[in-house]
Structure 1
Amino acid sequence: MTQQNHDVPDTDTYDAAASSLAGHVDNSVMAELLSIRSSIDNIDATLVYLLAERFKATQKVGFLKAAHRLPAGDPGRESAQIARLRRLAEDAHLDPAFAEKFLNFIIGEVIRHHEAIAEDHQAAAEWK
């Protein structure tokens, strides 16, 4: 489904204290920086798990669509979701344009997955 990036260390070898700034800034500044980065790391991990759950749900949608020969994309739903996410972003003081770009990327991936599921479903039906 996705390619593994071999340039990024896995969690077994990840060094949360890795920084090209080490030795170049005051120790107290470095400690504060690492503390904040630790929070960022936790948020990033949460995002990965949330995205995994989201894609599990959209995979179910893809199977349902394939079984009923529905189109992979749903422009009405997508537009409504983008508008909703932009409002949520504004409420959260996040750049709505960024939120829209992020959702468009996810929607693109979901549609790509739905198309692949539909192709697999069609191929399996032809074998019967």
Structure 2
Amino acid sequence: MSTSDMRDIDGAVVAELNRLRESIDNIDAAVVHMLAERFKCTQQVGHLKARHHLPPADPAREARQITRLRELAEAANLDPAFAEKLLNFIIAEVIRHHERIAVEPRTGDDAGAGGAGARSE
């Protein structure tokens, strides 16, 4: 809503709308921080898999994670299909990161690990 639209709305409604939007903004910030923490962990998984020549993907784990997330979504009254789409989007990003890790030059503990790489968590 534009500021001009807000002038025609009762002050209590505007205050409640602002309160709710502030909560949404706080939740969005928490989601971003949680995703950042998740990606820190999946980066470590990618390096570990690349170092030890582990298979690039783990479709069985991905399937378990999708099932688990759908169940969590149902319990939280969130659309399980939406939760699955979100997880698939995240997994695709993890795979992209792991593919990049697999081709990075190795230094230090990673030296000589080769380019087997890892694609998924």
The TM-score range, normalised by the shorter chain, is 0.7 to 0.9
Supply the RMSD in Å over aligned alpha carbons. Answer: 1.9
Q: Distance in 1 between matches of 2:55 and 2:8?
A: 55
Classify 1:121/1:64 alpha carbon distance in 2 versus 1 (closer, same or farther; 3 Å). farther
Q: Does residue 77 of structure 2 align to residue 93 of structure 1?
A: yes
Question: What is the one-letter code of the residue matched to 1:68?
Answer: H
- Per the TM alignment, residue 70 of structure 1 is displaced from its structure 2 partner at its CA by 2.1
How do residues 1-128 of structure 1 correspond to structure 2 at under 5 angstroms? 19-20=1-2, 21-121=5-105, 125=112
**Unpaired runs of 5+ in structure 1?**
1-18
- Structure 1 window deviating more from structure 2 (19-28 vs 35-44): it is 19-28
- Per the TM alignment, residue 69 of structure 1 is displaced from its structure 2 partner at its CA by 1.9
Higher relative contact order (CA 8 A, sep 6+): 2
**Unpaired runs of 5+ in structure 2?**
115-121
Q: Percent identity?
A: 63
- Per the TM alignment, residue 121 of structure 1 is displaced from its structure 2 partner at its CA by 4.4
- Per the TM alignment, residue 22 of structure 1 is displaced from its structure 2 partner at its CA by 2.6
Question: What is the one-letter code of the residue matched to 2:33?
Answer: Y
**Residues paired across the two proteins, number:** 108
Question: What is the one-letter code of the residue matched to 1:50?
Answer: M
| TM-score of the aligned structures, taking structure 2 as reference length | 0.81
